[in-house]
Amino acid sequence: MDKVEFGIGLRRIDNAAEDARTAEALGYEFVSTGEHVFFYGPIGNGLIQLAAAAGATETIKLMSTITLVPLYPPALLAKQVATLAQVSNGRFHFGVGVGGEFAKEFAACGVPVGERGARTNEALEVMERLYEGNKVTFDGRFTQLDGVTLAPRPEPPPPVWISGRSDAAMRRCARFGSGWLPYMYTPEMLADSIAKIESFSEGLDRNEPVAPGLFIFFAVHEDRNIAIDMASERLSKQYNQDFSKLVHRYALAGNPEDCIQRLQTYVKAGARTVILNSACPADYVDANERLFAEAVLPAFR
């Protein structure tokens, strides 16, 4: 079996450094975090949290899951990503998404929700150009550059992981992505999306195929029913909808053997990077991540 790498989400905004050290010690290959400006509950800024994690660790890779690209001016985002890539000594992986689940944050940032896909595509093109050359000129729909040079530049630029569920996201991945990181996916959806990205990549100037990954919420407990209840309650609150009938479809929830068996179906479908995020009460997160590391990860080593 090909090597499968696992990442774990940072737990708390005010504890990013310690959380990252713990993830590194437990043997996870990545530490990750998402972001919103405003959401249904407290949430931080991914790039800032990962900068704190970078300074506290030595070897673990860092991934933004995901950065809400359309909310940033592309030149500013290029600078922030370049800086994080450098301060982490090349350990940063740039996760990209368009968002849209919380329209008020788009309004607050002056970005029409309907433009988020077009803005993301243009931003990724701008970032590519800024990382590749000097005196960059660009005349786009949303961005104009007049002979500017980004310095210092990350060499090489960080891998770009495209997240999403739509064909538009898959086309974006074929064009710009180093990796594919869908969420709320079944194994069947993952296999289908990998095939689509391969099809969309035909005729494009790619050096290597897209690396297939997966972002998934999880709760593991020796008592399967406790794990399922934890995941259902947490995700229902986080996404402001009833997840009781969706947990088994889109999350890992159960005892260690349940999680191993379900993960094996994702690996068979093509996943080689799995980014996990705890779906459980705050006072169980430590035990959740530790039990997964000790009782599930060995099955994939």
Domain locations in the chain?
Answer: 1-158
Read off the pLDDT band of 12 (50, 70, 90): confident
pLDDT tens by residue, 249-263: 999 999 999 999 999
Cα 298 to Cα 197: distance, rounded to the nearest angstrom: 30
pLDDT tens by residue, 219-240: 999 999 999 999 999 999 888 8
Helices and strands (H and E) in the chain: how many: 11, 12
Judged on CB neighbours under 10 Å (0-12, 13-18, 19+), 288 is buried
Read off the pLDDT band of 51 (50, 70, 90): very high
User: Of 71, 67, 59, 66, which is closest to residue 29 (Cα–Cα)?
Assistant: 59
Read off the pLDDT band of 11 (50, 70, 90): confident
pLDDT at 1: 61
At residue 2, does pLDDT exceed 90? no
Cα 99 to Cα 276: distance, rounded to the nearest angstrom: 19
User: Of 131, 128, 126, which is closest to residue 144 (Cα–Cα)?
Assistant: 126
The CATH architecture of the domain made up of 1-158 is Alpha-Beta Barrel (3.20)
H helix or E strand, kind and range, residue 136: strand 136-139
At residue 149, does pLDDT exceed 90? yes
